[in-house]
Amino acid sequence: MTTATVQTLETPDGAFTLIVDSGARVLASGWTADADALVVRVHPVLRPADLVPGQTAAGAAVTAYYAGDLASVVTVPVRQHGTDLQLQGWAELRRIEPGAPLSYAEFAARLGKPSAARVAASICARNAPALFVPCHRVLRNDGSLGGFAWGTPVKHALLERERG
């Protein structure tokens, strides 16, 4: 059983909470003040038993992101557990440049699976450390927003901010 730090910040898109392990790696994050809503998104093998409130370097990166340093969040370490393809996908999401979103088909092609747009969408849906692994930068093939765990208004706001 482990203990992790939980921090909630106010952002222009609402409350943003993050859960960070003892190695300063983000396990989960999202636009909610409800830490329990995040804990369930952490894979069971990584899920902390206890949360203690505190300040984190990851929280400082979120503040920097909202201040205009859009690259600050992808340099923060994250910790995820999944299949090899999921891990590859989450790493690839971190390489998508702000302001240059991809379609699910383009994302699938980057993974070497050009006909697996649904698999690409599933990788995005299972992404626990939102913003740090920017799954919001993947859109439907027709350019529409598609789904987002934290709501399409937040996804739209993030993309507009990144469009600059």
Indicate the helix (H) or strand (E) that contains 28: strand 26-30
25: its two tokens: 């790696």
- The answer to whether 124 is a known catalytic residue is no
Note whether 91 and 100 are within 8 A (CB): no
Let me know if 58 is exposed, middle or buried by CB neighbors in 10 A (0-12, 13-18, 19+): buried
**Catalytic residue selected from 76, 96, 135, 139:** 135
Let me know if 29 is exposed, middle or buried by CB neighbors in 10 A (0-12, 13-18, 19+): buried
Reported residue count of the chain is 164
| Catalytic positions, written as ranges | 135
